[in-house]
Amino acid sequence: MRILITGGAGFIGSHLCDRLLADGHSVVVLDNLITSSINNVAHLTDSNMFRFINQNVADYIDLPEPVEAVMHFASPASPSQTAPNGYLQLPIQTLKAGALGTLNALGVAKRYDALFVLASTSEVYGDPLVHPQDEDYWGNVDPVGLRSVYDEAKRFAEALTMAYNRTHGVKTRIVRIFNTYGPRMALDDGRVVPNFICQALKGKPLTIYGDGLQTRSFCYIDDLTDGILRLMSSGITKPTNIGNPHEITILRFADTINGLADNTAGTILEDKRTEGDPQQRKPDISRAKKLLNWTPQVTLEEGLTRTISYFRSKLAYRD
Amino acid sequence: MRILITGGAGFIGSHLCDRLLADGHSVVVLDNLITSSINNVAHLTDSNMFRFINQNVADYIDLPEPVEAVMHFASPASPSQTAPNGYLQLPIQTLKAGALGTLNALGVAKRYDALFVLASTSEVYGDPLVHPQDEDYWGNVDPVGLRSVYDEAKRFAEALTMAYNRTHGVKTRIVRIFNTYGPRMALDDGRVVPNFICQALKGKPLTIYGDGLQTRSFCYIDDLTDGILRLMSSGITKPTNIGNPHEITILRFADTINGLADNTAGTILEDKRTEGDPQQRKPDISRAKKLLNWTPQVTLEEGLTRTISYFRSKLAYRD
């Protein structure tokens, strides 16, 4: 298959490229690199099965040849209030990637009768009032809150995807991606995994916002890409959660990273500072288990060890 | 002021035109007439204070001269499953009016440093879990349901409006419009007021879907336009409900119309048939009361009498 991946130079997109190329597919990446890095796909640029187009998906998509699948993964995705690539710093670009970007990507899928895969997010559930979240939960999102630039953009993208499916018969998949981590996360991404690992590798105490008792669940990137590829091959049009339901408090997560990175500086607690940061979010993955026969395989220790190793090499290179 | 009204040939838009012209303003209407009618503004076309542009707001907006306010009212709005102008029949157009249309309209406001008014809707609350709904309620909307083409488009439009306010300093207003009725509703609109009045004037029994005990509240168009103009002159950026909190069961509403129209054919009950049709929706208008000193003034009997009179003349003309 020839596959278009918007945002293919991003953290998740670039792992999809690796996996799809390894499986013998041809990949076209469309990315404007505002929150991603060409370094993530630099090892692929010599392949004649790989092509990179530097372009904003919200502007237009002009492909030289047909594709059989379109994976729309382009969007700022970090909720950090300070990171330069966070969606709070790129509010209008984020809204455009979700609306115009999805529209353009669906247009390509329609034109070539290609399969369309939307990268949606657990953030469509907002600050959820039920735990864990299954796909039939409608969410709790403030439409005019600061984070709505991402949450509402993704909800709109889901609505648009279903409209193309129902109206034009485009074959569509919607993956609701929960917290994912692994190599190629941006060091200055601002999310907890890069923050903690960078601090641990520099021998500093890990900064925890709030009391540290809020829980998170983290999915290793290889498990996510495996779930996405299973979803692609399935006939499931309904949204499907892909994430790791193993819950852990932020405090315990920090201790695990300190242990794996041999950091003895411990943790410090700071006031909670992110508006709308949910206290708890955990996927119900019954649908993926039942219909895709998918469950996460990589343990937190294993995934963190690989991720720490990647960050160590990156930090060494920067110093 | 020179004011751009997208969707200005629609039911609500055309009443805004009347009111703004009466107040001495100049009005430019941009409308592609897919769910509205040039007849609604035909009485204005001779005025040199009025200009009509036949154009889809989702494509682009090219104005010959600056404006001082932009009112974005263009969108299909009827949830009817059968009416030709309902948003369920125009899913992608509806999504585009909410996303691309709002983006284009905000672009005009930004360019000319004009005030922007977004016509939002009680449908951002979806099938609400709290009653009545105040503006801080985040809603209960299925992002992939059939009605999401309207609900999510409007939620996206609100998020985009706030982003332009926060990022570009555009002065913005968001009016969440609840059920409104009055002259110039399309006869084949499919909503309960045109349905009931047309049936009553033809001497037929009024069709009620469900048991008739679901409640609705109806705001007369003149009250709505008054509320919108007060909101414009205010400094309120937050969303503001404008609607009539007077609740009535559909059964009692039908009886009232039959009484006013001298229809003795009564009512008939049919199975509920609209997916996602809320059982109850009623505005909390504390914000409008307190900050705009606005309350609805027109009684249901008064408003219905004027509306029945309009429908009578329309039906007479058609026959």
CB B140 within 8 A of CB B151: no
B144–A152 C-beta distance less than 8 A: no
Domain B2-185+219-245+282-297 is classified in which CATH homologous superfamily? NAD(P)-binding Rossmann-like Domain (3.40.50.720)
Q: Given this structure, which CATH class describes domain A2-184+219-244+282-297? A: alpha beta
Q: Which DSSP state fits B133? A: B
Kindly tell me if the per-residue pLDDT of A64 is higher than 90: no
**If you average pLDDT over residues A128-152, what whole number do you get?**
97
Residue B259 has pLDDT above 80, yes or no: yes
Cis peptide before B132 (omega within 30 of 0): yes
Structural contact between residues A232 and A211, judged by C-beta atoms closer than 8 angstroms: no
Burial readout A123-149 (b: 16 or more C-beta within 10 A, e: otherwise) = bbbbbbeeebbebebbbbbbbbbbbbb
pLDDT tops 90 at residue A271:
no
CB atoms within 10 A of CB A168: 14
Least confident of A144-148, A189-193, B204-208: A189-193
Q: Do B158 and A140 touch (CB under 8 A)?
A: no
Chain B nearest C-alpha distance from A278 (Å): 15
Q: Where are the alpha helices (DSSP H) in A127-246?
A: 148-168, 192-201, 221-233
Q: Residue A140: which of B138, B156, B160 has the nearest Cβ?
A: B138
CA gap A30, A198 in Å, rounded:
29
Look at B91 and A155 and tell me if their CB atoms are within 8 Å.
no
Q: Which residue among A100, A153, A159 places its CB closest to the CB of B148?
A: A159
Between chains, do A138 and B126 touch, taking CB under 8 Å as contact? yes
* Per-residue pLDDT reduced to its tens digit, B110-119: 999 999 999 9
Chain B residues close to A151, C-beta within 8 Å: 159
Report strand pairing: A115-121 vs A172-177: parallel
Q: How confident is the model at residue B41, as a pLDDT?
A: 98
- How confident is the model at residue A48, as a pLDDT? 97
pTM of the model: 0.96
B91 → closest Cβ in A140, A153, A166: A166
ipTM: 0.96
Backbone angles phi, psi at A57, to 5 degrees: -60, -20
Which chain B residue lies closest to A164 (C-alpha atoms)? B92
**How many CB pairs below 8 A link A and B?**
109
Contacts of B167 in chain A (CB under 8 A): 91-92
Q: Is the pLDDT of residue A231 over 60?
A: yes
Contacts of A152 in chain B (CB under 8 A): 152, 155-156, 158-159
Q: How far apart are CA B270 and CA A89, in angstroms?
A: 52
- Catalytic-labelled residue, pool A60, A87, A112, A150: A150
Cis peptide before A132 (omega within 30 of 0): yes
How large is the average pLDDT for residues A5-23?
98
Residue A40's nearest CA partner among A177, A169, A199, A186 is A186
A143, A164, A174 ranked by CB distance to B155: nearest? A143
CA separation for the pair A104, B147 (Å, rounded): 22
Catalytic site includes residue B150 = yes
Report, as an integer, the average pLDDT of B232-239: 98
Distance CA B117, CA B232 (A): 7
Which of B149, B154, B156, B167 to mutate: most A Cβ within 10 Å?
Answer: B156
Q: Which residue has the higher pLDDT, A272 or B93?
A: B93
pLDDT at A316: 84
Sign of CA dihedral A41, A47, A49, A53: positive
| A33 in Cβ contact with A9 (< 8 Å) | yes
- The one catalytic residue among B87, B150, B164, B220: B150
